[in-house]
Structure 1
């Protein structure tokens, strides 16, 4: 079936991109459709403003089966109504507030004969979707249209947040928490085979980004993942690992500058936490093994 080529720009606060929650693929697709439509409502959007998502949207954008599209829409939005999201450090002016937990959706209106649902975002979520002047993530909805892994969509969102930097390092604990993964994914091999590898394959196959990844270990333990990425319009590195420096040359030792901290900051860190972690890292590297 021919997919819709209509641009649908998703724009959301970075705090929402890095929030902790769990959704099925269809729930995530519906949420993306609704977020993309928020921009059509303009500044008039408030908790009483409906955001309409139709079965036809699922068919045109995500290629859903037309005969079952409304059934998927209805069942997924009912599940979405029960879902919650945890947002870390929701108010920069109130550092004592560490996190907020809220429902995504405050209410739903059903129009089965018209094949659509009106969704009302909760008052706590709405500010992260409107009036975004800074610190937001933006991407075109069609770049997620062919992804069949909700983890691929979430990792793609994270990459879009850090698009200008081209590199993102996340700890495995942070990733497990943000994706609400079950305890069975404490097994690194399972995490890589079920989440990371399929997600990266789908991002490379279907999105506007190329991405490669590597592990960072502490001893024998995998502690973090490093994603290196960029637009497909640019040349993709032809090696899976970073090029080694010539044997007769020594790279300059990095300095603890603002640019260095911004480049190596991890999602969810405060400036002070990033500074202290980077300081310790450079101190350890200067001492050597």
Structure 2
């Protein structure tokens, strides 16, 4: 189930400026979630159309089209973020997301190798992450909504954000400089759509406040509450370093593809078999 998959992103990456299509964003989230914070897995990751269709509740045909679209564009995508040097001086880092990608249309899969710079930001090496369930963004069809949810949930402990200056906030959402230059269009076609989807499909209810200088909107701040208050299942336990959701989730047994095929029912296709076994087993050797 998508609700059981936890995505981990370093907050430097959540705040980074980048533009991804919905299909590309979903592909990356799915790969990161399946890697379960293990850097070596991100070096050679395979994502199947059946997984995509199951996690994001789309048809198999839509999943094939999404993986094809993502594979055609993702290699050219770049992101940037700020990093401090050993002397405390700020540096702007620009990197590709991935350094290699291949698409097997007839096989319904994408194989990708993440760039060396991005792997540490996508794993739990330094414990500076935004944690959330993949199920929280599975129903979001606007990439702006995905970015907004990631940005807000980084402030889960306070339920409110600082003021984001308009230019920075547009970058956070992945909006190009020449896209929606008028504030009315930006709010109607990006911000308000994102807020509506976040409130309808995720575990939080959010609202925003406009900050002005004279009559000009210069920034936005957000407040939000959890729909089901109480201890959040993705809260990191200080003793174990794991979240409640991680500790409660049963570990899947690792089996080979040959072993998995031996469990197939008569006439059962590979994609159906993989889906049926996924809750109990992790199948290796699928390359």
With the shorter chain as reference, the TM-score category is 0.7 to 0.9
| Cα drift, residue 190 of structure 1 | 1.1
Alignment of 1:143-158 (within 5 A): 143-158=136-151
Distance 1:25 1:32 in 2: 10
Change (3 A) 1:5 1:180: closer
Match of 2:102 among 98, 103, 109: 109
SS of residue in 2 equivalent to 1:67: helix
| Cα drift, residue 139 of structure 1 | 0.4
Alignment deviations for residues 92-149 of structure 1 (CA, whole Å, 9 cap, x no partner): 6353342111110111133334311111000111110123333211100011111111
Distance 1:198 1:29 in 2: 18
| Cα drift, residue 152 of structure 1 | 0.4
Report the equivalent of 1:165.
158
The reply on whether 1:232 has 2:227 as its aligned counterpart is: yes
SS of residue in 1 equivalent to 2:196: helix
The reply on whether 1:15 has 2:9 as its aligned counterpart is: no
Report the equivalent of 2:73.
79
| Cα drift, residue 184 of structure 1 | 4.2
Number of residue equivalences: 228
- Where does structure 2 lack aligned partners over 5 or more consecutive residues? 231-287
Q: Give the root-mean-square deviation of aligned CA atoms.
A: 2.0
Distance 1:184 1:62 in 2: 27
Alignment of 1:56-67 (within 5 A): 56-67=50-61
Report the equivalent of 1:33.
30
Q: Residue 13 of structure 1 contacts residue 132 of structure 1 at CA under 8 Å; is this kept in 2?
A: no
Report the equivalent of 2:275.
none
Q: Residue 88 of structure 1 contacts residue 98 of structure 1 at CA under 8 Å; is this kept in 2?
A: yes
Report the equivalent of 2:176.
181
Kindly name which structure, 1 or 2, has the bigger radius of gyration based on alpha carbons: 1
Change (3 A) 1:133 1:191: same
Distance 2:62 2:87 in 1: 46
Distance 1:83 1:182 in 2: 16
Q: Residue 207 of structure 2 contacts residue 222 of structure 2 at CA under 8 Å; is this kept in 1?
A: yes
| Cα drift, residue 38 of structure 1 | 2.2
Report the equivalent of 2:92.
99
SS of residue in 2 equivalent to 1:31: helix
Alignment deviations for residues 149-187 of structure 1 (CA, whole Å, 9 cap, x no partner): 100000000011111111112111111233242324232
Match of 2:187 among 192, 199, 203: 192
- Where does structure 1 lack aligned partners over 5 or more consecutive residues? 236-289
Distance 1:222 1:132 in 2: 39
Alignment deviations for residues 203-224 of structure 1 (CA, whole Å, 9 cap, x no partner): 0000001111111111111111
Distance 1:52 1:32 in 2: 13
